[in-house]
Amino acid sequence: MTVNVDVHFGLADVYIGYLRTNLAVTADPFIASRDVGFVAVSAVTVYELAVKDVFISFGWKKHKVPGCFAEARFERINGRVAYRNLCEEYLKRFGDKYLLRFKRRIAQLDKAAIKAKRGSVINSYNNVISWRNEFAHGGHVPAYVTLEEVIRGYEEGKDVIRCLANCMTR
């Protein structure tokens, strides 16, 4: 049984819905740039919550030992949920079977998204994390990033997390 990661996405989805409803009010470029930053922070926060849930739930379903390991390991991941982190730091610890499954499925997902002219889901996912880091640690987001771009990146990134959850089954 797969972890329902969509419950975590609801937290950011409500905020994004509010912004879309009130977008016409935000004519100030400074406020608009803050909205981009806050969406990126919200997106990565829910990514973190979902990643924690996936790995901790999986660990406990396997056995007490991987369950305890996962709880200790994922207690504080602090934004370290980029694609590379998922593969090299987390999936690898659960075994090549899960790492290879994830890489194969995410490659299929990425290829389909590129073919549909939506762009790479991996790049979109990583971009949102990068924008979050720039905002959270530097107080700014790149001037070229629009609110719609960060929202689209967040939506594409959800597919990466869903793929991860679907791969972490016995």
For residue 25, pLDDT over 60 is answered with: no
Q: What is the pLDDT of residues 37-82, one digit of tens each?
A: 999 999 999 999 999 988 888 877 777 777 677 777 777 777 789 9
Whether 54 contacts 94, CB under 8 Å: no
The total number of structural domains that make up the chain: 1
Flag whether the pTM goes above 0.75: yes
What is the C-alpha separation between 23 and 155, in angstroms, rounded?
Answer: 18
What is the C-alpha separation between 86 and 80, in angstroms, rounded?
Answer: 8
What is the C-alpha separation between 58 and 54, in angstroms, rounded?
Answer: 6
Is residue 61 domain-resident?
yes
Is residue 26 domain-resident?
yes
Is residue 99 domain-resident?
yes
pLDDT value of position 156: 95
- Coil vs helix vs strand at 44: helix
Is residue 66 domain-resident?
yes
Domain of residue 144, residue span: 6-167
Is residue 1 domain-resident?
no
